[in-house]
């Protein structure tokens, strides 16, 4: 089994594998070019985003700078907006639904490390997927941790650290994030 196959299946893998290093380098070259383009080059920037994130659907809008590990593990629905300075560690699949608004400085992590020091010191790591439902609003500076699923219609407060999965139609906030209230869709 290749290190990439291990990575994508959530097993311990060596991130210093040549293939993975080359893929991360390619992504970095891509987003560095994207991040250097001015608004006069939006068409070229959008083309480069499509190459970086081939699994994004129609209506993707990203305000640079933007950062990710690979890009190809990010799957977006229609009409997804990323504000400035977002970072996605997409070692494993990140699913983002339709009509999702992502505030500035949001971080989404799939990458994680073993808890026991001996294994962690071997420099092996692993990942857990992240899933974000439809019609979600993620406030600026929020962090979504590995293995978290966010339900549909959720609002995540600015600065929240989401460490556990969240059901549909709630407002969450804090560190660690907790449910603040249920959203009444009739209002």
Output the furthest CA–CA distance in the chain (Å, rounded): 53
In this prediction, residue 130 carries a pLDDT of 98
Residue 138 pLDDT greater than 60, yes or no: yes
What integer pLDDT is reported at residue 163 of this predicted model? 98
* pLDDT for residue 79 is more than 70: yes
* Active-site residue list: 113
Asked if 177 and 156 count as a contact pair (C-beta separation under 8 A), the reply is yes
Mean pLDDT of the residues in the chain: 95
Look up tokens 């407002």; give the residue. 171
Q: How far is CA 171 from the centre of its chain?
A: 20
Q: Which of 24-28, 36-40, 86-90 has the lowest mean pLDDT?
A: 36-40
Architecture of the 3-180 domain: 3 Solenoid (2.160)
Domain coordinates in residue numbering, the chain: 3-180
Residue 55: which of 80, 32, 38 has the closest Cα? 80
Residues 47-67 pLDDT 10s: 999 999 999 999 999 999 999
């Amino acid at each position: 089994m290749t290190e990439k196959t291990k990575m994508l299946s959530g097993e311990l893998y060596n991130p210093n594998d040549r293939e993975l290093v080359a893929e991360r380098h390619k992504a970095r070259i891509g987003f560095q070019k994207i991040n250097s383009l001015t608004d006069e080059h939006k068409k070229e920037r959008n083309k480069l985003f499509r190459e970086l994130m081939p699994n994004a659907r129609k209506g993707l809008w990203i305000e640079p700078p933007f950062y990710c590990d690979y890009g190809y593990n990010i799957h977006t629905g229609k009409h997804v907006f990323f504000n400035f300075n977002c970072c996605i560690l997409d070692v494993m699949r990140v699913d983002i639904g339709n009509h999702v608004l992502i505030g500035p400085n949001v971080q989404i992590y799939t990458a994680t490390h073993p808890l026991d020091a001996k294994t962690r010191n071997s420099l092996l790591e692993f990942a857990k997927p992240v899933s974000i439902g439809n019609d979600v609003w993620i406030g600026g500076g929020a962090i979504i941790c590995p293995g978290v699923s966010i339900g549909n219609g959720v609002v995540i407060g600015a600065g929240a650290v989401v460490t556990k999965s969240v059901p549909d139609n709630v407002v969450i906030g804090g560190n660690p994030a907790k449910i603040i209230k249920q959203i009444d869709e009739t209002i």
